[in-house]
Amino acid sequence: MKVSMSVNGKQVSGDAEPRTLLVHFLRDTLGLTGTHVGCESSYCGACTISLDGKAVLSCTMLAAQADGADITTVEGLASNGELHPVQEGFWERHGLQCGFCTPGMIMSAVTLLEENPEPSEDEIRQGIEGNLCRCTGYHNIVRAIEYAGAKMRGEEPAPAEWENA
Amino acid sequence: MYPREFEYIAPSDLDEALAALDANPGAKVLAGGMSLLPMMKMRLLSPDAVVDIGRIAGLDQISDNGDSISIGALVTHAEVAASDLVMEHGAALATAASWTGDRQVRNRGTCCGSLVHADVAADQPVAALALAATMVAVSSSGTREIAAADFFVDTMMSALEPNEILTEVRIPKAGPGTASAYDKLGRRGGHTDYAVAGVAASVTRSNGSISAATVAVTGVGSKPVLVGEVADALVGSDGSEAAVEAAAAHATCGIEVLEDLYGSVAYKTHLAQVFTARAVNAALSAAG
């Protein structure tokens, strides 16, 4: 069957079997391998994308269900060579170690900040409850999202903790 | 990990969906897919056809019917959790929705889907039981209303027929002095994940005593159930801490408590009592 959708602002279409999962359509058909396949059982959140503005698991969705949808993946965040504030936050606050969870973490954070531009630390932690970091590097991920939130609100991010040490 | 091959049917209206179910015995209905797709990926379930109701207009509404509210088949947990109408008339269900899965799951998973899936440790079924919800089941031969108390037949088995679609769950509006609450211990601690034990309670207070109560328990037995003994002990009492404590001692009356990875029979029995008291007390404070 043929499926069509908007991915990162571009209208795309391709063939998919009814059983093709959205994450495989993104990675294998469209070549967008930024979205990761982690646990494949809806627990880890590595495959998180933005679908019509909501964080969803692309491994627990059929490509067919996304027909006509508006999707953003991690590849769609940077523009004109400028990192998205959340990407910049992960860079500036060492929000990644092995990087496997990072695309999903970033997409969760982007949708979280769209829904709640000024989340508390607790709300950030709740907001990434569906994303597991196998390096357990949650502390800096939270700092990275705080950094991004400040940037997106036009504020000066708090200095990195190690700068005060 | 991907499902076995199946025919994908995406009807644009309800009649077409019902005809597709009639024409494809064994077909499964797909809404948010948060329960169905993992089962299909793990090949616990391999239907020949999947009827995706996700494009049917009119099923994505929470509506006010005057004496009740309706939650349509495509309303997500996130939408239930954020609904003032559900919070006002079915706080137990709104709370249950806010604690279901994680953010991504709540953005796709539906309230009605969770009810039909009827997991032994799910949050929605007990809220529906405590709120005396009505399930509206539609097939090509008509509409059937099923009381929540008759809906949960056994482990992952509801009273819905294979050719029926649960188009809405209807909750009676909470009258004066009536309030509900849900509390649970999640498998990963706090409220996260399925319930090791979870309790939904609805109470009505009038003239200083409890005039009506319903209490339902999830997670501890083979299906979500109403526990009449707790309700009976509450009705007529003053709702004091001691009265609630005494009623909560009946939390697993009539339930065969099952040991699993998350707890022994003794532990889960204890949890059921603790969370019964907490849910009833929370409902009582909300009832004023």
Q: Residue A36 sits in a domain of what CATH number?
A: 3.10.20.30
Average confidence (pLDDT) over A17-41: 97
Same domain, B119 and B193: no
The answer, for B10 touching chain A at a CB cutoff of 8 Å, is yes
Q: Which residues pair with B134 in a beta bridge?
A: B147, B170
Could you tell me the CATH number of the domain that includes residue B235?
3.30.390.50
Identify whether residues A37 and A100 lie together within a single domain.
no
Q: Is residue B57 part of a domain?
A: no
Give domain status of residue A11, yes or no: yes
Beta carbons of A19 and B37 less than 8 Å apart: no
**Chain B interface, best mutation among A62, A122, A145, by max B CB count within 10 A:** A62
Taking the C-alpha atoms of residue B18 and residue A39, their distance in angstroms, rounded to an integer, is 35
Mean pLDDT (chain A) is 97
Q: So what's the pLDDT on residue A72?
A: 98
- Look at residue A163 and tell me whether its pLDDT is greater than 90: no
Phi then psi dihedrals of residue A134, to 5 deg: -75, -15
Amino acid B192: pLDDT: 86
Task: Name chain B contacts of A67, Cβ cutoff 8 Å.
Answer: 10
At B147, list the tokens: 């009381």
Q: Is residue A149 in a domain?
A: yes
> Rounded to 5 degrees, what angle do the CA atoms B97, B100, B102 make?
120
Q: At what angle do helices A85-92 and A138-152 cross, to 10 degrees?
A: 140
Q: A71 and A98 share a domain? A: no
Inform me whether the C-beta atom of residue A114 falls under 8 Å from chain B C-beta atoms: no
Where is A162: in which H helix or E strand? Answer: helix A161-164
On whether the pTM is more than 0.95, the answer is: yes
CA distance B9 to B276: 43
Do A109 and A64 lie in a common domain?
Answer: no
Contact across the interface for B105 and A57, Cβ inside 8 Å: yes
Cβ contact, residue pair B103, A127, below 8 Å: yes
Direct distance between the N- and C-terminal alpha carbons of chain A, in angstroms, rounded to an integer:
58
**Residue B1 pLDDT level (bands cut at 50, 70, 90):** confident
In this structure, the answer to whether residues A69 and A7 fall within a common structural domain is: yes
Strands B225-226 and B209-218: antiparallel
B283 vs B288: CA distance, rounded Å: 9
Q: Does B104 touch chain A (CB under 8 A)?
A: yes
- In this structure, are A102 and A144 located in the same domain? yes
Instruction: Give the residue-averaged pLDDT of B142-158.
Output: 97
The answer to whether position A108 is within a domain reads: yes
Of A29, A56, A76, the one marking the end of a domain is A76
Same-domain status, B159 and B183: no
Number of domains forming the structure of chain B: 3
pLDDT of B288 over the 90 cut: no
Q: Domain range holding B232?
A: 178-287
Longest dimension (CA), chain A: 58
Q: CATH number, domain at B46?
A: 3.30.43.10
The two beta strands, A54-57 and A48-51, are antiparallel
At B96, the pLDDT band (50, 70, 90 cuts) reads very high
Of A2, A105, A9, A99, nearest to A48 (Cα)? A105
Average pLDDT, chain B: 97
Coil, strand or helix at B220: coil
Interface confidence, given as ipTM, is 0.96
Q: Which of B117, B140, B170 is the last residue of a domain?
A: B170
Chain A residue at shortest CA distance from B3 = A19
Rounded to whole angstroms, the Cα distance separating B247 from A94 reads 53
Q: Answer yes or no: do B274 and B225 share one domain.
A: yes
| β-bridge mates for residue B209, sequence order | B206
Does residue B74 share a domain with residue B96? yes
Rounded to an integer, the average pLDDT of B79-101 is 98
What's the domain range around A97?
A: 85-156
Q: Are residues B183 and B254 in the same domain?
A: yes
Asked if the model's pLDDT at residue B263 lies above 80, the reply is yes
Residue A98 sits in the same domain as residue A66? no
Is the domain of B186 the same as that of B263?
yes
Same domain for A57 and A117, yes or no, is no
Helices (H) and strands (E) in chain A, counts: 6, 5
**Contacting A residues, span 19-58, partner chain B, CB-CB under 8 Å:** 19-21, 24, 40-42, 45, 48, 54-57
Count of domains forming chain A: 2
Residue with tokens 């829904």: A115
